[in-house]
Homo-oligomer: A and B are copies of this chain.
Amino acid sequence: MKYSSYYLKTNKEAKSLESINATLLQKGGFVEQVMAGVYAFLPIGLRVLNKIETIVREEMDKVGSELLLPALSPKSLWEQSGRLNTIDVLFEVRGANDLARAKNSASYILNPTQEEIMTTIVRHYAMSYKDLPLAVYQIQTKFRSEPRAKSGLMRGREFRMKDLYSFHETAEDLDRFYDEMKSVYARVFDRMGLGHATHLTLAGGGDFTSNFSHEFQTVCETGEDIIFYDEKEKIWKNKEVASEELQKTAESVRASEVGNIYRFGTKYSDSFDHIITQQNGDKSAVHTGSYGIGTSRLMGVLVEKFHDEKGIMWPESVAPFTVYLAGLNRDDDATIAAADAAYTALEEAGVETLYDDRDTGTGAKFADAELLGIPWRVVVSKKTAGKLEVTSRATNETHLLEISEFLKKAGK
């Protein structure tokens, strides 16, 4: 991608927002805040979000089928589950003006989560033990009426989320799948460079269930949660389940919740009459679980984890581009030709490259490369004499390399 023809404008002078992630993402032209807790993803930001969601999708495809549920649902479903008046972040939707309300007086729910819809759909599909176990998921925009939304992409009124739902004949089979999902989630966070910093954490059931659940908490100075390490049980616990004693004495860290997994037992099957026929002909309620990952929140957490005073430092797996190619000496035709050739060679080798072909000075180009957090800055100038000057954003080490040497380094 050539910078000059791309919708991208960094703005180091942009006003700071209330969180590091929103501030850096807005300065870098990744997002723009439309209102508190609501962000537009600009082209380079959408690239990062898509990479995060592709990793999530690839891992979920190994255990379930993707579908797409609507954002709207009838209120009757939420009455039936008993959650219409108990979820304190639930949004409703209705005509916005007199004209609209005169034509359609109904109101609907704008879904923060989708156990209700999912159960009513899957009960038509899974009517026998033969159809189970079954897992379906979606990656979709969701909505919560957050009173305070000051943590950038880490707490949105509108946010992207992967939610997977599983359906089982027995509690034991749900437990088996629930444990499998712990490994699936660990792989997702590993692939984004967060594996070492993300702890499986025992938690309460929240709005959902009286069972214990688990959160995946990424250690992060600016996280909204505190988690405690229980030495005896060798497990991290969140505030809901850590005893007073543990909260006083145990090792604790700030963390941000990037995923959660729940076992509901037959709660939703009971509410929505999701009954199957067992092999012996008996009828029984289905056992269900749900499994969330906040993909836009992850983008925020990644920035909180991976940045320095100059800007973002994306892990390569989610970086918008692998290489920031800075073409210098734009008044010299031979150097321009060398940079053009390097761009072509990188693209042909499958290295995603943002080619800064602008007539701006070296300082502005280097500052953009650092702010944008692209893993490799590659300079072509009069001085590089046919080679590439390659600098790692992570280590700041610089090497003068042949293009073939760099391609090898980049795994191509």
Give A98 to B97 CA distance when docked, in angstroms. Answer: 21
Interface residues on A, range: 35 or more
- Residues of the B chain whose Cβ atoms lie less than 8 Å from the Cβ of A41: 67-69
A167 to chain B, nearest CB (A): 11
Known: A7-B65, A43-B136. A73 touches B121 (CB 8 A): no
**Smallest CB-CB separation from A160: which chain B residue?**
B68
Q: Of the candidates B9, B40, B68, B103, which one forms a contact with A88 in the assembled complex, judged by CB atoms under 8 Å apart? A: B103
Measured CB to CB, the nearest residue on chain B to A41 is: B68
Residue A86 is within 8 A (CB to CB) of chain B in the complex = yes
Q: A104-B146, A136-B43 are in contact. Are A35 and B74 (CB under 8 A)?
A: yes
Could you tell me the distance between the alpha carbons of A68 and B47 in the complex, rounded to whole angstroms?
A: 10
> Which B residues touch A147, using CB under 8 A?
103-104
| A72-87 interface bits toward B, Cβ cutoff 8 Å, 1 = contact, 0 = none | 1111001000001111
Closest Cβ of chain B to A48, distance in Å, is: 11
Known contacts A91-B95, A145-B95; is A38 also within 8 Å of B125 by CB? no
Residues in B whose Cβ lies below 8 Å from that of A92: 93-96
CA A121 – CA B89 in complex, angstroms?
A: 28
How many identical subunits does the complex contain? 2
A357 to chain B, nearest CB (A): 14
Give the most central of A34, A49, A136, A157: most B CB within 10 Å. Answer: A34
**Which residue, A88, A103, A143, A147, has most C-beta atoms of chain B within 10 A?**
A88
Distance in angstroms between the alpha carbons of A121 and B95 in the assembled complex: 26
User: Is B125 in contact with A73, judged by CB distance below 8 angstroms?
Assistant: no
Are A38 and B96 touching (Cβ within 8 A)?
A: no
Query: Is there an interface contact between B90 and A38, defined as CB atoms closer than 8 Å?
Result: no
Option from B68, B87, B90 in Cβ contact (under 8 Å) with A40: B68
Contact between chains at B104 and A100 (CB < 8 Å): no
The verdict on A43 contacting B72 (CB below 8 Å), with A96-B90, A98-B85, A125-B7 known, is: no
Assess whether A340 is interfacial by the CB under 8 Å rule. Answer: no
CB-based nearest B residue for A118: B40
CB distance from A297 to the nearest CB of B (A): 15
User: Shortest distance in angstroms between A284's beta carbon and chain B's nearest beta carbon?
Assistant: 20
Q: Are B32 and A121 in contact (CB under 8 A)?
A: yes
Query: A67 to chain B: which residues have CB within 8 Å?
Result: 7, 40-43, 45-46
B residues near A196, Cβ cutoff 8 Å: none
Q: Is the CB of B85 within 8 A of A124?
A: no
List chain B residues, Cβ under 8 A from A49. 68
Whether, in the assembled complex, A141 has its beta carbon less than 8 Å from a beta carbon of chain B, the answer is yes
Residue of B nearest to A127 (CB): B9
Are A35 and B96 interface neighbours, CB within 8 A? no
Asked whether A40 and B121 contact (CB < 8 A) given A35-B73, A72-B157, the answer is yes
Contact A65 B43 (CB under 8 A): yes
- 27 A-B pairs with C-beta separation under 8 A: A6-B65, A7-B67, A34-B73, A34-B74, A34-B120, A38-B70, A38-B73, A40-B69, A40-B121, A43-B65, A43-B136, A71-B158, A72-B143, A72-B158, A84-B96, A87-B96, A87-B97, A88-B103, A90-B95, A90-B100, A91-B96, A91-B100, A93-B93, A96-B109, A100-B145, A103-B147, A104-B146
